[in-house]
Amino acid sequence: MPDPVLLIHGGAWSIPDDMVEAHLNGVHNALAAGWRMLARGGAALDAVEEAVVIMEDDETFDAGRGSFLNRDGKVQLDALIMDGSTLRAGGVGCVERLRNPVRAARKILSDSPHVYFVAEGAERFAAEHGIPLCRNEDLIIPREVERLRGFQARAADANVDLFAPTISHDTVGAVALDGSGNISAATSTGGTLNKAPGRLGDSSLIGCGCYADNQTAAASTTGWGEPIMKLVLAKWAADHVATGSLPEWVAAEAINYLKDRVNGHGGMILLDALGRFGIAHNTPRMAWALKTSKHESYGIERKN
Ligand code: GLY
């Protein structure tokens, strides 16, 4: 019987000093919720879902309520969850009326022959499967209204393209190994500040923002989505673990590859079915938390 492992992240970006404590508290709470599932013999899939729900509910993070706003001042959310034992997956993209898009993703994984739903179709699927819809306004908080206004005003003053890839990637994610030896991954995001309506990032795309296969590894990425998508980075990392490389090394190499090949930035958590893990980011900060039955640790600063 393997010793369960839960590893989570709360997004890789230039987290401001005054938000460090909130990020560490947030990943701490998410770790506790996910671990409760694993500690009572629950599945890795349940653990990653519960951990991500806690971060979607926490306004600190760019997921669920409190997410960055798009160019039209709306929240548009993406999420994916994947089961490494069956390769079943569920994803939602560009949803505007779900407090917890990862719950809808999990319903798709469990109850649908399809893998991916977007926009109104995703919301309709969720409602038909017992997940209540909210108003988009319920997901918007004053901090983010101010942030968008400030960004758009600065961009107008400087007469520059309205795109914010370096300042806003607070995606959340989790990977877990359960006592049955199965691994799973989940990722959820509000995407980037001031994104174009309908823009889909990496987070909810299989192999880009999230991947899990018992035979390789479980990965959740965070960061500037477009470069991560171009490299299908989560699958790239899982495949490298399958060649025999240690997840610790692969996660670092994946972030080097992201930088060297497409000048991207972001972070990754990676875990294999033996409980070996990797944590890497090339952004100034990424909140993460790790728990096994013998060990618990947290971090936020880049080490090199
Ligand atoms: N990684 C989040 C996004 O780019 O949407």
CATH number, residue 69: 3.60.20.30
If pLDDT is split at 50, 70 and 90, which confidence band does 156 have?
Answer: confident
Q: What is the DSSP string of 174-206?
A: EEEE-TTS-EEEEEEE--STTPPTT---STTSB
2 — pLDDT class (breaks 50, 70, 90): confident
CA of 68 to the centre of ligand 1 (A): 11
Task: Give the ranges where 98-141 is alpha helix by DSSP (H).
Answer: 101-111, 119-128
162, pLDDT greater than 90: no
Residue 158 lies in a domain: yes
- Domain annotation covers residue 64: yes
The count of domains in the chain is 1
- Whether residue 21 lies inside any domain: the answer is yes
- The ligand 1 atom nearest the CA atom of 222: 1
Q: Is 221 a catalytic residue?
A: no
The residue range of the domain holding 60 is 5-299
* pLDDT (0 to 100) of residue 303: 72
> For residue 130, is it within any domain?
yes
Q: What's the confidence (pLDDT) of residue 168?
A: 61
The one catalytic residue among 60, 86, 166, 171: 171
Residue 80 lies in a domain: yes
Tens digit of each residue's pLDDT (9 = 90 or more) over 167-186: 666 799 999 999 999 999 99
pLDDT tens per residue across span 190-219: 999 999 999 999 999 999 999 999 999 999
Residue 14's pLDDT is: 86
Q: Does residue 115 lie in a domain region?
A: yes
Look up the pTM and report it: 0.96
Q: What is the CA radius of gyration of the chain?
A: 17
**Assigned domain for 304 exists:** no
Mean pLDDT of the chain: 95
Residue 260 domain flag: yes
Helix axes 233-242, 247-262, angle to 10 degrees: 140
